[in-house]
């Protein structure tokens, strides 16, 4: 197996360390009767992230963490596989599989280089997984390789606007003004965080998706309800009610 890229090695250590902080949220989401998305838990009925008919479809979650999204897909009848870079996150996912009696393959690996043949899947999804922590110039072409023609890719991540408004200090919420240039954003490291994130402008996402063989179907701008809560300190409800702090990309692999 080829050596892991530096950002993947770093993020592996970060997520093995951080996994315990994600256990309770994983347990709650595995038990949820219906999907709730992102940092505000916006209901699926409001966002419409999932395709209508997943029954019998081959699906993969790229950066599945505790694999609750995979569980939601499996309950809708998909044959799902989750891949994640952190053994510790997957340990929680495996325990929750046992607890809920719902089993599907969980792979320890890098979503930029997935050990499945070309055109193995009909649907690929990432919620703050590969779409935030893997290099888009690697994982988007890989998702295109994995999907069958007509297959759909959906991912939910921080909005680009939020990125531009986030101060570098940890725990300080997004400002009501732009704090950094929009041009050239790609690899992002925060002073107090050992992890490596990736963010692209909308123009760059569209260019990359199209170059990789996708047609962009939709860009959903997530707006939480007025009574929504989050455990994350980097954005206030007031901010998120005025500007999208999360975005959902939907793309279809060209036939």
Please state, in angstroms and rounded to a whole number, the distance separating the CA atoms of residues 155 and 139: 12
Of residues 161, 157, 247, the one with CA closest to residue 197: 157
Please, what is the minimum distance in Å from the beta carbon of residue 135 to ligand SAM?
8
Please state, in angstroms and rounded to a whole number, the distance separating the CA atoms of residues 229 and 232: 9
| 127 binding ligand SAM? (CB under 6 A) | yes
Judge whether 128 and 157 are in contact, CB under 8 Å.
yes
| 111 binding ligand SAM? (CB under 6 A) | yes
Please, what is the minimum distance in Å from the beta carbon of residue 176 to ligand SAM?
26
| 157 binding ligand SAM? (CB under 6 A) | no
Taking CB under 6 A as the binding criterion, the range among 127-135, 211-219, 226-234, 241-249 that sits at the site for ligand SAM is: 127-135
Annotate 193-225 with DSSP letters as a single string: ----EE---HHHHHHHHHHTTEEEEEEEEE---
- Residues that bind ligand SAM (rule: CB under 6 A) add up to a total of 21
Please state, in angstroms and rounded to a whole number, the distance separating the CA atoms of residues 89 and 65: 5
Please, what is the minimum distance in Å from the beta carbon of residue 30 to ligand SAM?
11
| 92 binding ligand SAM? (CB under 6 A) | no
Please, which residue, 170 or 215, has the CB nearer to ligand SAM?
A: 170
| 133 binding ligand SAM? (CB under 6 A) | yes
- HEC states along 30-42? HHCCCCEECCCCE
Among 42, 69, 144, 165, binds ligand SAM (CB under 6 A): 69
| 251 binding ligand SAM? (CB under 6 A) | no
| 134 binding ligand SAM? (CB under 6 A) | yes
Please state, in angstroms and rounded to a whole number, the distance separating the CA atoms of residues 230 and 211: 35
What does the binding site for ligand SAM look like in residue numbers (CB under 6 A)? Answer: 8, 11, 15, 22, 63, 65, 69, 83-86, 89, 110-112, 127-130, 133-134
């Amino acid at each position: 197996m080829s050596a892991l890229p530096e950002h993947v090695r770093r993020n592996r250590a970060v997520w093995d360390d951080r996994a315990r902080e994600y256990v309770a949220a994983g347990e709650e989401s595995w038990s949820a009767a219906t999907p709730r998305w992102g940092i505000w838990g916006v209901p699926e009925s409001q966002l419409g992230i999932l395709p209508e008919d997943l029954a019998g479809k081959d699906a993969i979650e790229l950066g599945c963490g505790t694999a609750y999204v995979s569980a939601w897909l499996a309950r809708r009848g998909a044959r799902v596989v989750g891949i994640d870079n952190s053994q510790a996150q997957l340990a929680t996912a495996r325990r929750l599989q046992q607890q809920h009696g719902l089993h599907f393959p969980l792979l320890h690996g890098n979503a930029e280089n997935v050990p499945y043949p070309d055109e193995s899947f009909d649907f690929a999804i990432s919620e703050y997984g590969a779409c935030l922590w893997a290099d888009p110039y690697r994982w988007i072409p890989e998702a295109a390789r994995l999907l069958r023609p007509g297959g759909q890719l959906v991912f939910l991540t921080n909005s680009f606007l939020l990125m531009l408004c986030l101060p570098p200090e940890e725990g300080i919420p997004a400002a009501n003004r732009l704090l950094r240039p929009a041009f050239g954003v790609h690899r992002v490291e925060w002073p107090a965080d050992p992890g490596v994130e990736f963010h692209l402008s909308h123009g760059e996402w569209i260019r990359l998706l199209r170059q990789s063989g996708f047609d962009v179907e939709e860009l959903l701008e997530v707006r939480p309800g007025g009574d929504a809560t989050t455990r994350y300190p980097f954005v206030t409800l007031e901010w998120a009610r005025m500007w999208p702090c999360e975005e959902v990309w939907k793309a279809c692999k060209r036939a």
